[in-house]
Amino acid sequence: MKLQRMNRRALALGALAVSGALALTACGSDETGNPGGGSSNAAAPSNIKCDDASGQVLADGSSAQKNAVDAWVKQFSAACQVEINYKAGGSGAGVTAFTQGQVPWAGSDSALKPDEVAASKKICSGGQGIDLPMVGGPIAVGYNVPGVDKLVLDSSTIAKIFDSKITNWNDPAIAKLNPDAKLPNLKIQAFHRSDESGTTDNFTKYLIATAKKDFPYEGGKAWQAKGGQSAPQSSGVAAQVKQTAGAIGYFELSYAKDGIKTVAIDTGADKPVEATVDNATKAIAEAKVVGTGKDLALKLNYGTKAEGAYPMVLVTYEIVCDKGNKAETLPAVKAFLRYAASEDGQKILAENDYAPMPEEIITKVRTTVESLS
């Protein structure tokens, strides 16, 4: 009887362990329900500092960094008794949730605007919202053109495609850039984001900076160009490209999975530049800090022609109060951001198709995180 009781107890403990593991795994799935990346299965780094972090933290924002956050959460939650629930409803939704006091931190692929900073002062007691650049990466232009395994486009051609000025894949402008490709007589199906998105903001900033004549729009988180079709979040655009012959769309490299091919960009350098983490890092290294005080907003050089520098990049900021954070969430938020900015946290980015921040920038982020109050 004693042995039976021990066996029953062991089975119950095992069930609890499995339940706990499943709960943590649920926090770390992407928008399509798939795990964020292979590296997140590794054992949690032993040097994660939990301090007094505990409880539950709700956050919202950029879907661009969702797979990165998933990988961080799996590591962090394995080390600390904190549940991070990152909604990834898009940069616009994240900033709104933050300035309305619904979440203690948010992710955005665009730095806070002056009116958003002003709004943040109402919920950051004695302080304001600041931008902490934490995740970088290329905005890949994915395409689905049967029989075309390699495709080169320049900013002018990309602009015309997404503004419905080039509507067929065998257009002379595309053929000129791809003399060896067998381009089909196939209608182009251009997909853009339906939600307000920092990915859209950075994608259009690149087109405006390098092909203003062909993309005469102001830019911003909301899509402005004519025509095309829309889909929600990066995962939605990627899914449409994968399943639609003739499709083209923009999303972070981490979403270019399951056979989705990506465009190489003719920047004017000697060779077209592929969308890779290393090539994005080369472009981000040219960024300048333009934020004031503890704000670390960056100005990117979209027009770079440096060899091997992929210019269509974005940086995702973690937005948080510099002062006046809520006492009940500050320890957990601070511990999580400390880990994300750490050497281990940044290493995970490269393993999941994101670009780590250049050392000069991430050093400033680490110092700022420690000063949060």
How many angstroms separate the Cα of 109 from the Cα of each of 44, 59, 232?
Answer: 27, 15, 16
Output the pLDDT for position 31.
37
The string of pLDDT tens digits covering residues 114-133 is: 999 999 999 999 999 999 99
The string of pLDDT tens digits covering residues 184-238 is: 999 999 999 999 888 899 999 999 999 999 999 999 999 999 999 999 999 999 9
Fill in the DSSP letter of residue 92: H
Output the pLDDT for position 281.
87
Output the pLDDT for position 47.
79
Task: Tell me whether residue 161 is exposed, middle or buried, using C-beta atoms within 10 angstroms of its C-beta: 0 to 12, 13 to 18, 19 or more.
Answer: buried
The string of pLDDT tens digits covering residues 317-358 is: 999 999 999 999 999 999 999 999 999 999 999 888 899 998
Asked if 261 contacts 143 with a C-beta cutoff of 8 angstroms, the reply is: yes
H or E stretch covering 174: helix 172-177
Output the pLDDT for position 45.
55
Tokens in use for 89?
């409803």
- What are the percentages of helix, strand and coil residues in the chain, rounded to 5? 40, 20, 45
**What are the residues facing 172 on neighbouring strands?**
none
Of 251, 344, 256, 264, nearest to 309 (Cα)? 264
Q: pTM for this structure? A: 0.76
**What are the residues facing 66 on neighbouring strands?**
none
- Name the 3-class secondary structure at 27: helix
Residue 1's pLDDT band, with cuts at 50, 70 and 90, is very low
**Could you give the dihedral angle defined by the CA atoms of residues 167, 170, 171 and 173, in that order, rounded to the nearest 10 degrees?**
130
User: What does the alpha-carbon distance between residue 93 and residue 102 come to, in Å, rounded to a whole number?
Assistant: 11
Residue 63's pLDDT band, with cuts at 50, 70 and 90, is confident
Contacts of 291 (CB under 8 A, 6+ apart): 111, 130, 131, 297, 298
Whole-angstrom Cα Rg for the chain: 22
Pick the range with the lowest mean pLDDT from 34-48, 101-115, 288-302: 34-48
- Name the 3-class secondary structure at 105: strand
Contacts of 248 (CB under 8 A, 6+ apart): 141, 142, 143, 144, 161, 188, 189, 190, 191, 241, 263
User: What does the alpha-carbon distance between residue 229 and residue 20 come to, in Å, rounded to a whole number?
Assistant: 41
Output the pLDDT for position 19.
36
The string of pLDDT tens digits covering residues 235-279 is: 999 999 999 999 999 999 989 988 899 999 999 999 999 999 999
Q: What value does the mean pLDDT take over residues 150-159?
A: 98
In this predicted structure, the answer to whether residue 9 has a pLDDT above a threshold of 80 is: no
Mean confidence (pLDDT) of the chain:
88
User: What does the alpha-carbon distance between residue 311 and residue 314 come to, in Å, rounded to a whole number?
Assistant: 9
